[in-house]
Amino acid sequence: MNSVTQVINEAHLSANSTLGKCTEIEVYGEPLNPSINYSSAYAFKTIEELGAYHENKFDSVRYTRDSSLIVRQLEHYFGLMHSDHSALMFNSGMGAISACFSALVTSKSRIVTFGSFYRKSLSIFLSYQKNFGIEYINVLGLEELENLNSKDTIVLIESPSNPFLELVDIKAVRSALPDATIILDTTFQGLLNSKSGYQGIDIVLGSCTKYIGGHNDLLAGYVVCQNKSLYSKVWDERSMRGGIIDNQSAYLLLRSLRTYDLRVNKTLDNMSHVLKFLADSSVVESIYYPGQYENAAQSGLFESEHYHGGGVVTFRVSKNVTLNQNLETLCSTKMAPSFGAVDSLVEIPMYMSHWGKSLDEVKKLGLDERTVRFSVGNEPIQYILNDLVKLLKIK
């Protein structure tokens, strides 16, 4: 019987190569883009080769839950963007955050966070607290850090924070907690947006699902560790639990990196018009943007730490705006969670991430039914401004 497998195997046996390597054509040129290889494992010819892999596992490939060629390529670029420290790619931002915490938390740990931040990160800490009795403290100001310095303290800082885009003074946290492990979630900053180069931070991480992917078509996260011992712990954690980015998403992310600068520049240009529009509106009561408006007290910190404030703005509209009805009339802007993509997105955080909570409960987080988070996309600015006019219609 004719067998397809037999034909393919014989072609590669005679060429002494593995499946998928083209045995027929001469290649003179180089492809412009990387190949996506879906192999879940890599073949070794000799035991010596396998030995060499084990001696060099962080920089080599054997099994795709640990590493793959395209993922190593991405990690190389992310490392270069972070002072050449070692990077690890994950299948989501939460995959990255949870791997770091499971790598670090012990029975003696104390987890410390600041103000309001991503709700799913909070869920991790609440579950550690509930299930394992791990100490968890959320502080509102630097003065509350007194007495918290210890090598068992793990701090998660989200800066700018969700949804009010407040900054945390990282230098001040480091000097208050010299022995703690400090983790920074940079999702709202995007890439290469730290003037201090993340000094004093042990682990820099973020979601690539937002600005970095930028097209609402992939989930990914990254972790960059300041030293090899942290890196090796997080590497082991990813290998044990799973959570590495898949090769298809890694490819998309490589593609996205090449338009990152273009997208961010367009976003910031659009944002300058959006901020002016909101500031000029008589029905916008407050505006939250890094270092400006309600956050103007942090302008010094913003100037010293960041190059730009990103593509997300939060604002509160006055009572006479028929916000819920207006949301149904928008043209190009979609109501969806997430941010940082070519599409403009809008949400009322109270209904998006805090559904079912009472007004009293969400007020503790500074939220209410009139607080809007807007993520500025890359549409022609007139599309965005037209939608904002619709969004702010009054009775």
Ligand X SMILES: *Cc1c(COP(=O)(O)O)cnc(C)c1O
User: Shortest distance, CB of residue 393 to ligand X, whole angstroms?
Assistant: 29
CB 110 within 8 A of CB 290: no
CB 319 within 8 A of CB 310: no
E strands, the chain, are 86-90, 110-114, 135-139, 153-158, 181-185, 203-207, 221-225, 284-289, 292-293, 312-317, 334-335, 345-347, 371-375
The only residue of 64, 67, 68, 92 in contact with ligand X, by rule CB under 6 A? 92
Is position 187 an interface residue for ligand X (rule: CB under 6 A)? yes
DSSP-assigned letters across all residues of 50-90? HHHHHHTGGGS-SBTTT--HHHHHHHHHHHHTTTT-EEEEE
Is position 88 an interface residue for ligand X (rule: CB under 6 A)? no
Among residue numbers 135 through 174, which ones bind ligand X (CB under 6 A)?
Answer: 158, 162
Measured from the Cβ of residue 148, the count of other Cβ atoms closer than 10 Å reads 17
Q: Which stretch binds ligand X (CB under 6 A): 51-59, 91-99, 260-268, 308-316?
A: 91-99
| Residue (75 or 185) nearer to ligand X, CB | 185
Is position 118 an interface residue for ligand X (rule: CB under 6 A)? yes
DSSP code of 18? -
CB 254 within 8 A of CB 75: no
| Residue (78 or 118) nearer to ligand X, CB | 118
- Paired with 180 in beta bridges are none
| Residue (96 or 173) nearer to ligand X, CB | 96
Burial of 161 (0-12, 13-18, 19+ CB in 10 A): buried
The only residue of 74, 94, 156, 264 in contact with ligand X, by rule CB under 6 A? 94
Q: Which stretch binds ligand X (CB under 6 A): 51-59, 183-191, 294-302, 313-321?
A: 183-191
User: Shortest distance, CB of residue 229 to ligand X, whole angstroms?
Assistant: 24
| Residue (184 or 392) nearer to ligand X, CB | 184
Phi, psi values for residue 142, rounded to 5°? -60, -30
User: Shortest distance, CB of residue 162 to ligand X, whole angstroms?
Assistant: 5
11 sits in which H/E element: helix 4-15
Best CA proximity match to 149, nearest among 110, 188, 98: 110
The only residue of 166, 185, 305, 347 in contact with ligand X, by rule CB under 6 A? 185
Is position 349 an interface residue for ligand X (rule: CB under 6 A)? no
Q: Which stretch binds ligand X (CB under 6 A): 50-58, 181-189, 246-254, 275-283?
A: 181-189
CB 169 within 8 A of CB 141: no
Sketch the per residue contact string, 199 through 238, with ligand X: x for CB under 6 A, - otherwise. --------x-xx--------x-x-----------------
> For the chain, how far is it from start to end, CA to CA, in angstroms?
77
| Residue (92 or 333) nearer to ligand X, CB | 92
| Residue (220 or 321) nearer to ligand X, CB | 220
SS3 content of the chain, % helix, strand, coil (to 5): 40, 15, 45
| Residue (165 or 275) nearer to ligand X, CB | 165
Q: Which residue minimizes CB distance to ligand X?
A: 93
Q: By rule CB under 6 A, what count of residues binds ligand X?
A: 14
User: How far apart, in whole angstroms, are the C-alpha atoms of residue 364 and residue 359?
Assistant: 9
Is position 290 an interface residue for ligand X (rule: CB under 6 A)? no
Q: Which residues of the shown chain bind ligand X in the complex (CB under 6 A)?
A: 92-94, 118, 158, 162, 185, 187-188, 207, 209-210, 219, 221
